[in-house]
Amino acid sequence: MNVNQSAPPVPPFGQPQPVYPGYHQSSYGGQPGSTAPPTHYGAYNGPVPGYQETLAPGVSRAPPSLGAPPATTAQTPCGQAAYGQFGQGDVQNGPSSTVQMQRLSGSQPFGSAPLAPVVSQPTVLQPYGPLPTSSQVTAQLAGMQISGAMAPAPPTLGLGYGPPTSLASASGSFPNSGLYGSYSQGQAPPLSQTQGHPGAQPPQRSAPPQASSFTPPASGGPRMPSMSGPLLPGQGFGGPPVSQPNHVSSPPPQVLPPGTQMTGPPGPPPPMHSSQQPGYQLQQNGSFGPGRGPQPNYGSPYPGAPTFGSQPGPPQPLPPKRLDPDAIPSPIQVIEDDRNNRGSEPFVTGVRGQVPPLVTTNFLVKDQGNASPRYIRCTSYNIPCTSDMAKQAQVPLAAVIKPLARLPPEEASPYVVDHGESGPLRCNRCKAYMCPFMQFIEGGRRFQCCFCSCINDVPPQYFQHLDHTGKRVDAYDRPELSLGSYEFLATVDYCKNNKFPSPPAFIFMIDVSYNAIRSGLVRLLCEELKSLLDCLPREGRAEESAIRVGFVTYNKVLHFYNVKSSLAQPQMMVVSDVADMFVPLLDGFLVNVNESRAVITSLLDQIPEMFADTRETETVFAPVIQAGMEALKAAECAGKLFLFHTSLPIAEAPGKLKNRDDRKLINTDKEKTLFQPQTGAYQTLAKECVAQGCCVDLFLFPNQYVDVATLCVVPQLTGGSVYKYACFQVENDQERFLSDLRRDVQKVVGFDAVMRVRTSTGIRAVDFFGAFYMSNTTDVELAGLDGDKTVTVEFKHDDRLNEESGALLQCALLYTSCAGQRRLRIHNLALNCCTQLADLYRNCETDTLINYMAKFAYRGVLNSPVKTVRDALITQCAQILACYRKNCASPSSAGQTKSPIESTTEPPAVRASEERLSDGDIYLLENGLNLFLWVGASVQQGVVQSLFSVSSFSQITSGLSILPVLDNPLSKKVRGLVDSLRAQRSRYMKLIVVKQEDKLEMLFKHFLVEDKSLSGGASYVDFLCHMHKEIRQLLS
Ligand SMILES: [Zn+2]
């Protein structure tokens, strides 16, 4: 291990983790800690040679999101940037977005519209080999948590469907936009017809022509070479894991009593009778399969089993079967069920290994000893005891940690514990912080560390008697002994240079080149700042913010402003030597807003006028960041730079960039170079920023190629955010920009942060994903960290785990609060350990798995062709499912139809497929970046009037982005829904009204993720069939 551990011998798989520097243990009998060198965080372990200082750790802050857009924005004239304007390269670490579509009933009472039985177009089936029946797929996938992942996956994985691609595809085509577009690259090209399936395989004798592309999944049909004979009941068509506390994806009949059938070995193969398969129906509309509703075909306990039957059986003319979309796992159903089942009761964290409700469920949390799922979520809450088992299952072991997560008003922030000069109590050996799992012994005089088993003395001032159960009698009076999350006030030993920090500062750095002035950006921004500066983050109930502010404008040179309160007018100082950046003033640059209000207001009034006639089109970029960082350094504080920038920095200066946009590289092995920075200069700069606690938030307003992949390096490595407004125009984009800006400026940030994750013996953190910097293998350094940012941590075994003791995680975040207080925030989580794979699968958490896989994939595309990454993901999913099916699946009657769910608060969600749209209705689709309001051509006139204040469908303006404020219930309800959806996202989602059959509908359809993509990517059904085939191959 790369730890400079000295003292006590550690167990072979212990996890000795050196402390933060200068923390002296002597006060309670530990070995004296060495005083930290007064530099940056070298003392948190120092650089470890093996660590790659590449961009790799950064995951969602991102080239896939960000790298792609330049490729097209540069070549797309503004007027045609059909999509560039709708979204922005969202680069944050928050939970991934899902595409959700909700029907806003037009013709029926709002919110209660049952789904219309629309079958306008049959789902296309592709020649991925024999089709499993829907119930097979359902059985195979539905039971697992995986089922819930399917629909959220597309946008999350970001490999095509998601907003990033839509940005990239500003030209209007959707190259590779399908999540599973790899099929079209590497495998049989998917067919795009909506009728008929001229697939690779010749028509089967018993099938009508439409069936030619896939084999009827029955014994009467030809067998596939890959079939391995009848499947065992235990492995064939698995039902859901039993007694899942979560993600109940089907009605109760599927839920078996706990512990049944899941763990036993598979039984003997059941006899297969082709007669059990009554056959397939050919629907009149040319689509296959039975209509919705009960499926008489699947009465057998092993639905669809004959698909893989080895007995040929008598030839039997079987019409082809279309997969019933209602019978395959429905993500929205999973979400809905979880809301209904788990949204009403608080989630109490007292019990080890409980799977929390889905992230889409609103629930309250009661901390009773484990961290709230708002702070930590795991891919599984029951992890395999051995690495062999983990390898077999292929389920990644990871935690997604959002240390400063925002809480709903009903939940209290973590208590702050002050242990005075002695600081927080820690284990002498592994340096874990006192937590509810530490075991007090010897009458309370000592405690045994729950992470490394070391026996520690309890310092006299912390001594307390134990009750008859061995618990300290003050356990419930101390947050660190009874709660999962709490904070310690840090002592000076935890501070840089052994000095308590100063309050942080915000520096606003405004591009005043020609484009920024012409678009109206500078005027808009200066006007907004006048009021926004009153809303800087405050500590608790403090009357005013402790944060100081400073201002810089720039084009090819930089202008610093002295806004000292004693001045009558602001003073400008120009620095034109951008190659050797220095800060020309100290006193008067960073000021208190209230004290300097008059001067600041004057400055913000003058800036747009001063540069109104500028002809300067060239900008610098790196020197601007350098200047901000130097200013913070000079003021000896941490802080944040807000950069408002318009163009590729081509002026002669450090960090100068060239236009390297090359569309020819897309879909080649060199595509990844587009996602990588073109110079290492920004990485070096980022490192300096991290050392200073200088976080950079970047607002981009490009009219052409701007090389986001390079410009975002510093924001990414400093825990910042990037916002992008292509072809910014005040009238169209100000609402979105101002909304993002207000939120960004006001959000609470922890500065100069270091995060360490400790684990109990047997597992350890091996990899980290997110937007941060690491100078060694264990400490995640974040110049800034806000409530939207997460760090994903992957764990690996280094020893056998124990079912009885379970596994523990402790995340410690050392940071400076927005008032300048140095604190430690501690989150603890206990997990179960298992020796049965079924227990692992049953306790998986889909949202976290998807988050992990998305970040893993993101890192992958920086180094490998997208297709390789996509294939690897599919392979891993297939391995996970195959292992599940082989070891855990149990027979069940899957494929049942779902009972309609009535939702009282918002309209019921509709699956994201064109087939689900009725032209008499209105639907709202959300993808995390945009909100689309689709209006059917036959919507009742009254509804049109109520919502749009026009008398007919034809009068509705296509692309409308603001709904008129009308005083009627429908208008209020729809606008309220839009507002509430926006409030749930960290970025402002622009509304786009899409009329049926209008040209914008293409864009809308791009996000109907269950459909075949316009560029040929597989539909959801096709993909499940493909997975089914992959799984079968793995099992054979
Ligand atoms: Zn320990």
pLDDT in tens, 92-133: 444 344 455 666 644 333 333 322 222 233 333 333 334 444
Question: Across residues 27-43, what is the average pLDDT?
Answer: 36
Please give the distance, rounded to the nearest whole angstrom, from the Cα atom of residue 772 to the centre of ligand 1.
26
Please give the distance, rounded to the nearest whole angstrom, from the Cα atom of residue 376 to the centre of ligand 1.
21
Please give the distance, rounded to the nearest whole angstrom, from the Cα atom of residue 448 to the centre of ligand 1.
8
Q: Write the CA distances from 898 to 120, 179, 504, 823, 891, integer angstroms.
A: 21, 27, 54, 49, 19
* Contact (Cβ atoms closer than 8 angstroms) between residue 64 and residue 164: yes
pTM higher than the cut 0.85: no
Question: What interhelical angle do 597-610 and 521-532 show, nearest 10?
Answer: 170
Please give the distance, rounded to the nearest whole angstrom, from the Cα atom of residue 807 to the centre of ligand 1.
14
Q: Which residue has the higher pLDDT, 494 or 175?
A: 494
Question: Across residues 417-437, what is the average pLDDT?
Answer: 96
* Predicted pLDDT at 101: 64
Triad 1005, 1006, 1012: Cα angle to 5°: 85
pLDDT in tens, 518-545: 999 999 999 999 999 999 999 888 889 9
Please give the distance, rounded to the nearest whole angstrom, from the Cα atom of residue 25 to the centre of ligand 1.
13
Please state, rounded to an integer, the average pLDDT across all residues of the chain. Answer: 75
Task: Check residue 472 and report its DSSP letter.
Answer: B
* Predicted pLDDT at 219: 36
Please give the distance, rounded to the nearest whole angstrom, from the Cα atom of residue 14 to the centre of ligand 1.
9
Q: Write the CA distances from 618 to 34, 517, 526, 601, 714, integer angstroms.
A: 50, 13, 21, 27, 21
DSSP assignments along 280-328, one per residue = -PBPTTS-BS--SS--GGG-SSSTTGGGG-SS--S----------GGGS
Please give the distance, rounded to the nearest whole angstrom, from the Cα atom of residue 1 to the centre of ligand 1.
16
* Contact (Cβ atoms closer than 8 angstroms) between residue 847 and residue 95: yes
Q: Give 532: exposed, middle or buried? Use CB within 10 Å, 0-12, 13-18, 19+.
A: middle
Please give the distance, rounded to the nearest whole angstrom, from the Cα atom of residue 429 to the centre of ligand 1.
5
Please give the distance, rounded to the nearest whole angstrom, from the Cα atom of residue 450 to the centre of ligand 1.
6
Please give the distance, rounded to the nearest whole angstrom, from the Cα atom of residue 30 to the centre of ligand 1.
12
Please give the distance, rounded to the nearest whole angstrom, from the Cα atom of residue 452 to the centre of ligand 1.
4
* Beta-carbon contacts of residue 123 (< 8 Å; ≥ 6 apart): 287, 322, 323, 325, 913, 915, 1011, 1012, 1019, 1021
Please give the distance, rounded to the nearest whole angstrom, from the Cα atom of residue 430 to the centre of ligand 1.
4
Please give the distance, rounded to the nearest whole angstrom, from the Cα atom of residue 765 to the centre of ligand 1.
16
Question: Across residues 359-383, what is the average pLDDT?
Answer: 96
pLDDT over threshold 50, residue 553: yes
Please give the distance, rounded to the nearest whole angstrom, from the Cα atom of residue 447 to the centre of ligand 1.
10
Please give the distance, rounded to the nearest whole angstrom, from the Cα atom of residue 22 to the centre of ligand 1.
18
pLDDT over threshold 80, residue 230: no
| Rounded Cα–Cα distance for residues 483 and 714 (Å) | 36
Please give the distance, rounded to the nearest whole angstrom, from the Cα atom of residue 455 to the centre of ligand 1.
8
What count of other Cβ atoms lies within 10 Å of the Cβ of residue 294?
13
Please give the distance, rounded to the nearest whole angstrom, from the Cα atom of residue 715 to the centre of ligand 1.
35
| Rounded Cα–Cα distance for residues 648 and 708 (Å) | 9
Please give the distance, rounded to the nearest whole angstrom, from the Cα atom of residue 786 to the centre of ligand 1.
29
Please give the distance, rounded to the nearest whole angstrom, from the Cα atom of residue 435 to the centre of ligand 1.
11
Half-sphere exposure (Cβ direction) of 904: Cα atoms closer than 13 Å: 1
* Beta-carbon contacts of residue 549 (< 8 Å; ≥ 6 apart): 505, 506, 507, 508, 533, 536, 590, 591, 593, 600
pLDDT over threshold 60, residue 1: no
Question: Across residues 461-490, what is the average pLDDT?
Answer: 96
In this structure, the strands spanning 749-759 and 694-700 are unpaired
Please give the distance, rounded to the nearest whole angstrom, from the Cα atom of residue 977 to the centre of ligand 1.
49
Amino acid at position 395, single letter: V
Please give the distance, rounded to the nearest whole angstrom, from the Cα atom of residue 468 to the centre of ligand 1.
25
Question: Across residues 775-782, what is the average pLDDT?
Answer: 95
| Rounded Cα–Cα distance for residues 5 and 25 (Å) | 15
| Rounded Cα–Cα distance for residues 820 and 706 (Å) | 35
Task: Check residue 64 and report its DSSP letter.
Answer: I
Please give the distance, rounded to the nearest whole angstrom, from the Cα atom of residue 91 to the centre of ligand 1.
37
Please give the distance, rounded to the nearest whole angstrom, from the Cα atom of residue 760 to the centre of ligand 1.
8
Please give the distance, rounded to the nearest whole angstrom, from the Cα atom of residue 763 to the centre of ligand 1.
14
The sheet that has 376-378: what strands, in order across it? 376-378, 398-401, 791-797, 763-769
Largest CA distance in the chain: 98
pLDDT over threshold 50, residue 692: yes
* Contact (Cβ atoms closer than 8 angstroms) between residue 1012 and residue 205: no
Please give the distance, rounded to the nearest whole angstrom, from the Cα atom of residue 410 to the centre of ligand 1.
34
- Report the run of H or E that residue 400 belongs to, with start and end: strand 398-401
* Predicted pLDDT at 898: 34
Please give the distance, rounded to the nearest whole angstrom, from the Cα atom of residue 457 to the centre of ligand 1.
12
Q: How confident is the model at residue 713 (pLDDT cuts 50, 70, 90)?
A: very high
Please give the distance, rounded to the nearest whole angstrom, from the Cα atom of residue 6 to the centre of ligand 1.
14
Task: State whether residue 910 is helix, strand or coil.
Answer: strand
Please give the distance, rounded to the nearest whole angstrom, from the Cα atom of residue 162 to the centre of ligand 1.
43
Please give the distance, rounded to the nearest whole angstrom, from the Cα atom of residue 433 to the centre of ligand 1.
8
| Rounded Cα–Cα distance for residues 119 and 34 (Å) | 72
Please give the distance, rounded to the nearest whole angstrom, from the Cα atom of residue 836 to the centre of ligand 1.
29
Please give the distance, rounded to the nearest whole angstrom, from the Cα atom of residue 960 to the centre of ligand 1.
60
Half-sphere exposure (Cβ direction) of 867: Cα atoms closer than 13 Å: 15
Please give the distance, rounded to the nearest whole angstrom, from the Cα atom of residue 10 to the centre of ligand 1.
10
pLDDT in tens, 271-288: 333 333 333 333 333 223
Please give the distance, rounded to the nearest whole angstrom, from the Cα atom of residue 561 to the centre of ligand 1.
51
Please give the distance, rounded to the nearest whole angstrom, from the Cα atom of residue 93 to the centre of ligand 1.
31
Please give the distance, rounded to the nearest whole angstrom, from the Cα atom of residue 489 to the centre of ligand 1.
21
Q: Six-digit token pair at 159?
A: 């490999």
Q: Six-digit token pair at 759?
A: 């684990």
Amino acid at position 333, single letter: Q
Please give the distance, rounded to the nearest whole angstrom, from the Cα atom of residue 809 to the centre of ligand 1.
12
Please give the distance, rounded to the nearest whole angstrom, from the Cα atom of residue 28 to the centre of ligand 1.
14
Write the secondary structure of 619-647 as one string of H (helix), E (strand) and C (coil): CCCHHHHHHHHHHHHHCCCCEEEEEEECC
* Beta-carbon contacts of residue 518 (< 8 Å; ≥ 6 apart): none
Question: Across residues 500-508, what is the average pLDDT?
Answer: 96
* Beta-carbon contacts of residue 899 (< 8 Å; ≥ 6 apart): 251
DSSP assignments along 772-819, one per residue = -B-SSSSPEEEEEEETT--EEEEEEESS---TTT-EEEEEEEEEE-TT
pLDDT in tens, 835-870: 999 999 999 999 999 999 999 999 999 999 988 999
* Contact (Cβ atoms closer than 8 angstroms) between residue 567 and residue 530: no
Task: State whether residue 399 is helix, strand or coil.
Answer: strand
pLDDT over threshold 70, residue 221: no
Please give the distance, rounded to the nearest whole angstrom, from the Cα atom of residue 419 to the centre of ligand 1.
19
Please give the distance, rounded to the nearest whole angstrom, from the Cα atom of residue 442 to the centre of ligand 1.
17
| Rounded Cα–Cα distance for residues 512 and 506 (Å) | 19
| Rounded Cα–Cα distance for residues 450 and 761 (Å) | 9
Task: State whether residue 222 is helix, strand or coil.
Answer: coil
Please give the distance, rounded to the nearest whole angstrom, from the Cα atom of residue 759 to the centre of ligand 1.
10
Please give the distance, rounded to the nearest whole angstrom, from the Cα atom of residue 402 to the centre of ligand 1.
24
Please give the distance, rounded to the nearest whole angstrom, from the Cα atom of residue 9 to the centre of ligand 1.
12
* Beta-carbon contacts of residue 347 (< 8 Å; ≥ 6 apart): 354, 356, 357, 363, 364, 365, 366, 372, 373
Q: Nearest-CA neighbor of 297 among 322, 260, 331?
A: 322
Q: Which residue has the higher pLDDT, 912 or 20?
A: 912
Please give the distance, rounded to the nearest whole angstrom, from the Cα atom of residue 19 to the centre of ligand 1.
11
Please give the distance, rounded to the nearest whole angstrom, from the Cα atom of residue 431 to the centre of ligand 1.
6
Please give the distance, rounded to the nearest whole angstrom, from the Cα atom of residue 461 to the centre of ligand 1.
20
* Contact (Cβ atoms closer than 8 angstroms) between residue 143 and residue 254: yes
Write the secondary structure of 16-52 as one string of H (helix), E (strand) and C (coil): CCCCCCCCCCHHHCCCCCCCCCCCCHHHHCCCCCCCC
What count of other Cβ atoms lies within 10 Å of the Cβ of residue 497?
14
What count of other Cβ atoms lies within 10 Å of the Cβ of residue 660?
15
Query: Please, where are the H alpha helices in 153-198?
Result: 153-157, 163-168, 182-186
Please give the distance, rounded to the nearest whole angstrom, from the Cα atom of residue 800 to the centre of ligand 1.
18
Task: State whether residue 745 is helix, strand or coil.
Answer: helix
* Predicted pLDDT at 104: 64
| Rounded Cα–Cα distance for residues 637 and 629 (Å) | 10
* Predicted pLDDT at 906: 72
Q: How confident is the model at residue 183 (pLDDT cuts 50, 70, 90)?
A: very low
Question: Across residues 464-481, what is the average pLDDT?
Answer: 95
What residues form DSSP beta bridges with 828? 810
Q: Write the CA distances from 547 to 212, 223, 766, 816, 820, integer angstroms.
A: 68, 71, 36, 12, 9
Q: Picking from 40-49, 879-888, 1025-1034, which range would have the lowest pLDDT averaged per residue? A: 40-49
Helix, strand, coil percentages (3-state) for the chain, rounded to 5, are 30, 15, 55
Please give the distance, rounded to the nearest whole angstrom, from the Cα atom of residue 7 to the centre of ligand 1.
13
Please give the distance, rounded to the nearest whole angstrom, from the Cα atom of residue 774 to the centre of ligand 1.
23
Q: Which residue has the higher pLDDT, 624 or 143?
A: 624
pLDDT in tens, 199-209: 333 333 333 33
Please give the distance, rounded to the nearest whole angstrom, from the Cα atom of residue 761 to the centre of ligand 1.
9
Percentage above 90 pLDDT, the chain:
59
| Rounded Cα–Cα distance for residues 14 and 728 (Å) | 54
DSSP assignments along 476-525, one per residue = GG-HHHH-SEEEEE--GGGSGGGSPPPPPEEEEEEE-SHHHHHTTHHHHH
Q: Write the CA distances from 37 to 236, 395, 430, 459, 822, integer angstroms.
A: 61, 41, 21, 27, 18
Please give the distance, rounded to the nearest whole angstrom, from the Cα atom of residue 427 to the centre of ligand 1.
5
pLDDT in tens, 726-767: 999 999 899 999 999 999 999 999 999 999 999 999 999 999
* Predicted pLDDT at 197: 38
| Rounded Cα–Cα distance for residues 795 and 789 (Å) | 20
Please give the distance, rounded to the nearest whole angstrom, from the Cα atom of residue 426 to the centre of ligand 1.
8
Tallying the residues shown for the chain, one arrives at 1036
In this structure, the strands spanning 722-724 and 694-700 are parallel
Q: Six-digit token pair at 1014?
A: 């316009």
Please give the distance, rounded to the nearest whole angstrom, from the Cα atom of residue 453 to the centre of ligand 1.
6
| Rounded Cα–Cα distance for residues 178 and 1008 (Å) | 11
| Rounded Cα–Cα distance for residues 283 and 387 (Å) | 49
Please give the distance, rounded to the nearest whole angstrom, from the Cα atom of residue 32 to the centre of ligand 1.
16
Please give the distance, rounded to the nearest whole angstrom, from the Cα atom of residue 831 to the centre of ligand 1.
18
pLDDT in tens, 49-91: 333 333 333 333 333 333 333 333 333 344 343 343 444 433 3
Please give the distance, rounded to the nearest whole angstrom, from the Cα atom of residue 811 to the centre of ligand 1.
14
| Rounded Cα–Cα distance for residues 646 and 290 (Å) | 56
Q: Give 922: exposed, middle or buried? Use CB within 10 Å, 0-12, 13-18, 19+.
A: buried
pLDDT in tens, 906-937: 788 889 999 899 999 999 999 988 999 999 99
Please give the distance, rounded to the nearest whole angstrom, from the Cα atom of residue 499 to the centre of ligand 1.
28
